[in-house]
């Protein structure tokens, strides 16, 4: 597959990202954002002075703009915001100037109305209560009416921007809505109604007085016993309970964080701060009921070195989205998906950076429902151990190990059944012989 280079320039610093010509623009820019540790939503990506069309692949973009050149240069600049503060509580409202400029280009009349909008907005803030949560809910129509008094009715774009909250960014001061948190759902069996449930573990991190836990939006007490955090709560009935874990400190070690939890059925990590995390070993190991993990593709993992057993024995998981997961410093992926018996798809797997990985033993072992694995972009030049890597992946129909290099420790690496139904691709004769002899 043809490769290309995207050279991103941010504050005079150039960063080169390699990618295939079939890759989406959005994915390329998100990979750059992870490497540069920036929020892509706060920056604009320009190609030749025009915004990148994220719906196009590089191949399409090359054909339409640069006639097939294998290199493109992208200028990255930060969106500018103008800040307002509530005189009562100090909460901020951010006015996105870049969005305003877009509208001004379409309708010059808006430019004369911006100051009026600011004044009206400041008046609303002065007259509002300390809790600004109701500004969006109760006063958005008022804002639209104010704007429509000054702007012609044909300016529907501004109204849509207001309704979509693209111009007015409001930070809500609400205990449950604070960032650095984990959301999820517990399933309580009839025989567990009056039991206290272990919610998570802490092995190497002390978060005493640094955690708030909410159950069905109500704060509950937690008991710490032998590095386990247990709910001090008698569940009144069986069924599903939503929970939020609010972390007041940044965790550096997520080793065995949810290991052995037999009640969690879903997790949302979208707002979890992992920017300082160095280990995610066995983070979800033995979560036997866990069916869904959202937000994995939002995590910052550029400092993580260990992901061994991360999803091991998550026997109900069917799908994982690892798009944008940064594994550039990871040295072990041992048993990462071991015994995920129902796992059918892993998005973004082929984009993992594996040049520092030394151990892949049992990585996909006993993943009996996996049908398609394209690992052609894996760099295995430093991998010393691939034992049992695909052992008993008996449902594989496509396995691409192009560019794979193997060393001595490869026992049972390709031992699985129904090979007559699997399309195996490799450019390594030793690997081909191992496949045919296993």
pLDDT reading at 57 higher than 90: no
Angle at which helix 97-106 crosses helix 156-163, to 10 degrees, equals 160
Q: How high is the pLDDT of residue 415?
A: 94
Q: Can you name the residues that pair with 52 across neighbouring β-strands?
A: none
Highest mean pLDDT among 205-209, 238-242, 312-316: 312-316
Q: What is the pLDDT of residue 149?
A: 54
Question: Given pLDDT bands bounded at 50, 70 and 90, which one contains residue 313?
Answer: very high
> What six digits make up the tokens of 303?
């400092």
Q: Within a 10 A sphere around the Cβ of 438, how many other Cβ atoms?
A: 15
Closest CA to 174 of 215, 133, 141: 133
**pLDDT tens, residue by residue, 139-155:** 555 555 555 555 444 44
CB 180 within 8 A of CB 207: no
Closest by CA position to 140, among listed 162, 119, 171: 162
Q: Comparing 2-11, 112-121, 399-408, 412-421, which segment has the lowest mean pLDDT?
A: 112-121
The string of DSSP letters for 151-217 reads S-TT-HHHHHHHHTTSSEEE----GGG-SSEEEEEEEE-GGGTTSPPEEEE-SS---TT-EEEEETT
Q: Render pLDDT for 119-139 as a digit per residue (tens, 0 to 9).
A: 655 565 555 554 554 544 445
H/E/C letters for each residue in 67-89?
Answer: CCCCEEEEEEEECCEEEEECCCC
If one looks up domain 3-78 in CATH, what number appears? 3.10.20.90
List all residues 6 or more positions away from 210 whose beta carbon is below 8 Å from its beta carbon.
247, 248, 249
- Helix, strand or coil, per DSSP, at residue 225: strand
Confidence of residue 69 (pLDDT cuts 50, 70, 90): low
User: Could you give the CA distance from residue 204 to residue 165 in angstroms, rounded to a whole number?
Assistant: 41
Distance CA 319, CA 269 (A): 15
Containing 425, the helix (H) or strand (E) segment is strand 423-425
Domain ranges of the chain: 3-78, 81-170, 176-353, 369-438
Sheet arrangement for strand 292-294:
218-220, 211-215, 239-247, 181-188, 264-268, 292-294
Highest-confidence segment of 114-118, 267-271, 330-334: 330-334
Helix, strand and coil in the chain, % to nearest 5: 25, 25, 50
- What is the average pLDDT score of the chain? 77
Segment of 109-123, 214-228, 298-312 carrying the highest mean pLDDT: 298-312
Residue in the block written with tokens 């540069």: 36
pLDDT for 294 = 93
In what side-by-side order are the strands of the sheet with 43-47? 13-20, 3-10, 71-78, 43-47, 50-51
164 or 197, greater pLDDT: 197
Q: pLDDT tens digits for 341-398?
A: 999 999 989 889 999 999 999 999 999 999 999 999 999 999 999 999 999 999 999 9
pTM assigned to the model: 0.60
Q: How many residues does the chain have?
A: 438
Query: What does the pLDDT read at residue 164?
Result: 38
In terms of Cβ atoms closer than 10 Å to its own Cβ (0-12, 13-18, 19+), residue 433 is: exposed
Rounded to 5°, the CA angle 270-275-277 comes to 105
pLDDT at 434 over 70: yes
What's the CA gap between 93 and 121, in Å, rounded? Answer: 10
Q: Which residue has the higher pLDDT, 210 or 308?
A: 308
Question: Which class for 29: exposed (0-12), middle (13-18), buried (19 or more C-beta within 10 A)?
Answer: buried
Q: What are phi and psi of 97, to 5 degrees?
A: -70, -30
In 3D, which of 5, 71, 77, 74 has the Cα closest to residue 38?
77
CA distances from residue 245 to 28, 67, 147, 203, 321 in whole angstroms, order as listed: 32, 51, 40, 17, 22
Query: Tokens 């503060």 sit at which residue?
Result: 85
Going across the sheet that includes 222-225, the strands are: 198-201, 228-231, 222-225
User: How many C-beta atoms surround the C-beta of residue 398 within 10 A?
Assistant: 14
Rounded CA-CA distance 27/18 in Å is: 12
Q: Could you say which DSSP state residue 359 is in?
A: B
CA 3 to chain centre: 25
Tell me the mean pLDDT in the region 266-270: 94
């Amino acid at each position: 597959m043809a490769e290309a280079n995207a050279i991103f320039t941010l504050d005079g610093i150039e960063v080169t990202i390699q990618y295939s010509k079939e890759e989406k623009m959005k994915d390329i820019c998100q990979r750059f954002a992870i490497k540069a540790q920036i929020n892509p939503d706060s920056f604009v990506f320009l190609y030749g002075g025009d915004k990148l069309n994220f719906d196009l692949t590089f191949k399409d973009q090359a054909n339409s703009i640069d006639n097939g050149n294998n290199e493109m240069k992208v200028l990255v600049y930060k969106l500018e915001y103008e800040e307002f503060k509530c005189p009562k509580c100090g909460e901020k409202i951010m006015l996105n100037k870049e969005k305003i400029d877009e509208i001004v280009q379409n309708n010059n009349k808006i430019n004369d109305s911006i100051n009026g909008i600011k004044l009206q907005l400041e008046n609303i803030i002065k007259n509002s209560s300390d809790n600004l949560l109701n500004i969006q809910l109760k006063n958005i129509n008022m804002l639209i009416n104010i704007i429509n008094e000054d702007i012609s009715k044909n300016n529907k774009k501004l109204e849509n921007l207001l309704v979509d909250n693209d111009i007015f960014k409001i930070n809500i001061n609400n205990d449950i809505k604070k960032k650095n948190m984990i959301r999820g759902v517990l399933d309580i069996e009839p025989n567990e109604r009056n039991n206290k449930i272990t919610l998570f573990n802490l092995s190497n991190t002390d978060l005493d007085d640094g955690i708030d836990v909410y159950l069905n939006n109500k704060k509950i007490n937690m008991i710490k016993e032998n590095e386990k955090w247990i709910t001090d709560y008698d569940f009144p009935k069986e069924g599903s309970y939503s929970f939020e874990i609010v972390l007041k400190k940044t965790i550096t070690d997520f080793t065995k964080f949810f290991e052995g939890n037999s009640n969690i059925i879903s997790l949302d990590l979208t707002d979890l701060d992992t920017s300082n995390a160095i280990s995610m070993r066995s983070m979800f190991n033995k979560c036997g009921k866990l069916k869904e993990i959202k937000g994995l593709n939002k995590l910052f993992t550029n400092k993580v070195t260990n992901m061994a057993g991360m999803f091991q024995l998550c026997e109900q998981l069917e799908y994982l989205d690892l798009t944008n997961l940064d594994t550039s410093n990871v040295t072990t992926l041992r048993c990462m998906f071991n015994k995920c018996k129902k796992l059918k798809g892993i998005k973004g797997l082929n984009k993992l950076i594996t040049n520092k990985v030394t151990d892949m033993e049992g990585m996909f072992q006993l993943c009996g429902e996996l049908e398609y694995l394209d690992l052609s972009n894996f760099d295995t030049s430093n991998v010393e151990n691939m034992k049992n890597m695909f052992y008993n992946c008996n449902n594989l129909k496509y396995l691409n190990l192009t560019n794979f290099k193997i060393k001595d420790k490869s026992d049972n690496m390709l031992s699985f059944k129904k090979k007559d139904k699997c399309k195996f691709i490799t450019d390594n004769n030793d690997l081909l012989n191992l496949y045919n002899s296993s």
